[in-house]
Amino acid sequence: MPDRKKIVVITGAGISAESGLSTFRDSGGLWEGYDIHEVASIEGWRKDPETVLNFYNLRRKQALKAKPNKAHKALAHLQNYYDVQIITQNVDNLHEKAGSDRVLHLHGELNKAKSSEVDDHVIEIGDRPIKIGDKAADGSQLRPHVVWFGEMVPNLEIAAEMTSKADILIVIGTSLVVYPAAGLIDYVKNGSDKFIIDPSEPEFRDLREWQHIKEKAGIGTPKLVENLITKVKETD
Ligand code: APR
């Protein structure tokens, strides 16, 4: 059998919308009444850590009881036919729940917490809330393991490397307006097939080389996955 083709899938909040988790920009930058820039920024954390913790405790509770939808499941199935790497901006774990084996989180994970002093002191917390006074091993206040506005994206370099090797790039449910994650698509090599699945018109770039599947992720992803599997079966 020839080597499997490499597919990189970049996902954002839109892929989890049909699992009941709101996107950011569709809700006008407000999330359950919280201003996203207040609760997802390092300045917000310094100013009012309790509000930030409450916000993430709420998101953790909602996200961890959410179920993967048809889009997450279709991508997990795709790995039976292709070498699939998911790069997600989402902090939920719906790709993992659906069975995808290779998931890189760019913006962290809700079910983990870390020291507010040392970036790589990360622990699993599952669905437990983080409270003021909860301490990391180094004695500092525990904080969510998420990347906020104004912080470095530690997995960016590895994500860029993965994207540069893709034969097929699929972007699902992200406005691609938040950098540096948005810059990832520039790493794709010439000649790769490029698909974007989003019910809205993407504003982010010149899309002449992209095939836009203008549907919700739960409809568009299984369709694209089916086509890609048919293609691989024809060439086998
Ligand atoms: N299926 C597919 N796409 C959808 C769906 C759906 N059912 N519903 C909405 N979308 C699309 C929207 O049209 C939009 O293009 O998903 C995109 C969501 O964009 P954003 O809300 O901006 O989310 P995202 O791109 O993931 O945000 C990036 O910003 O707030 C920060 O760190 C946070 O990771 C997040 C980053």
- Cβ-based burial of 221 (10 A; exposed 0-12, middle 13-18, buried ≥19): buried
Ligand 1 center–CA 63 separation, angstroms: 15
Residue 27 Cα: closest atom of ligand 1: 21
Confidence grade of residue 37 (pLDDT, cut at 50, 70, 90): confident
pTM higher than 0.85: yes
User: Given this model, what pLDDT does residue 204 score?
Assistant: 60
Task: Given the residues 95, 105, 107, 145, select the one marked as catalytic.
Answer: 107
User: Given this model, what pLDDT does residue 73 score?
Assistant: 98
Give 75-117 pLDDT, tens digit per residue.
999 999 999 999 999 999 999 999 999 999 999 999 999 999 9
Residue 174 Cα: closest atom of ligand 1: 25
Domains in the chain with CATH codes: 1-21+68-107+153-236 (3.40.50.1220), 24-65+109-146 (3.30.1600.10)
Closest CA to 16 of 131, 220, 172, 166: 172
Q: Is the CB of 39 under 6 A from ligand 1?
A: no
Q: Is the pLDDT of residue 188 over 80?
A: yes
Q: Is the CB of 19 under 6 A from ligand 1?
A: no
Q: With helix as H, strand as E and coil as C, how does 152-181 read? A: CCCCHHHHHHHHHCCCEEEEECCCCCCCCH
User: What is the chain's Cα-based Rg?
Assistant: 18
